[in-house]
Amino acid sequence: MGTILEIKNIETYYDLIYAIRGASLTVEEGTITAILGNNGAGKSTILKTVMGLIEDQPDKGTIEYMGKRIDGMDTEKIVRRGISYVPEGREVFEELTIKENLAMGAYIRRDHRKINDDIERIFTYFPILKNRINQWAGTLSGGEQQMLAIGRALMSRPKLLFLDEPSLGLSPILVGEIFEIIKNINKEGVTILLVEQNARMALSISQIGLILENGRFVMKGKSSELMEDKDVKEFYMGVRSEASAKGYQRWKRKKAWR
């Protein structure tokens, strides 16, 4: 195994306002890597930048996938190379059925005879979807739509899967189910880069964690070690102490890195 994704000092801006400021990270093949941070930190922007979804971005820096640069490449070409993306908010095709949504995930493939086989494979992860295969996606619950969105992304047979806030809007029980499925997908050989506000869940299934603040990474380490870090517990897991806001700012400066 080696490095599957390497981001070096990228800068991304919206309307002349920088959202990402010199961020760098590596994702090792076969792992789950979690990016944590509060709303507005720039987590989703990193995924969108890699996927080519922000026009003319990154403004600076490089992105390499499996040793080859992909920054500036069209999104479709990036997907064809082996990266799939599940966006925040799921964005399923509400007026299409479950089966039709899954088939849309395979639009780049030419081995059409195997698409139905892969749909059945997706149902092994999400058996509840099989029972509703002809149901319109717009009538599914939030958790079912999240399952469908992940299944659709897997239909392109990615080597690297981006998940943007998969727990958003879900009940605690469903969050547990979704994260267990993410673990199983990873065990079957799909590398995962996970963006998530639920720090406790994200660190519990990942090997490496990074914390993003105001477009910069301020901390990186093994997920098991971050879960035991006093500051991470306080500021990202809600385990509060008597630390003040000034203490928080001192911590961020202390941890700042690129």
Structural contact between residues 122 and 147, judged by C-beta atoms closer than 8 angstroms: no
The answer, yes or no, to whether the previous bond of 58 is cis (omega within 30 of 0) is yes
pLDDT given at position 249: 56
DSSP state of 183: H
pLDDT given at position 243: 46
pLDDT given at position 244: 45
Domain coordinates in residue numbering, the chain:
3-255
Structural contact between residues 179 and 204, judged by C-beta atoms closer than 8 angstroms: yes
Q: Which amino acid is at 145?
A: Q
Residues 6+ apart with CB under 8 A from 36: 43, 196, 197, 199, 202, 203, 209, 210, 211, 212, 236
Structural contact between residues 148 and 105, judged by C-beta atoms closer than 8 angstroms: no
Q: Could you say which residues of the chain have pLDDT below 70?
A: 239-258
Q: For the domain 3-255, what is the CATH code? A: 3.40.50.300
pLDDT given at position 252: 56
- The candidate with the shortest Cα–Cα distance to 31, out of 173, 214, 229, 191, is 191
pTM listed for this prediction = 0.90
pLDDT given at position 246: 54
Please tell me the distance from the alpha carbon of residue 155 to that of residue 220, in angstroms, as a whole number: 31
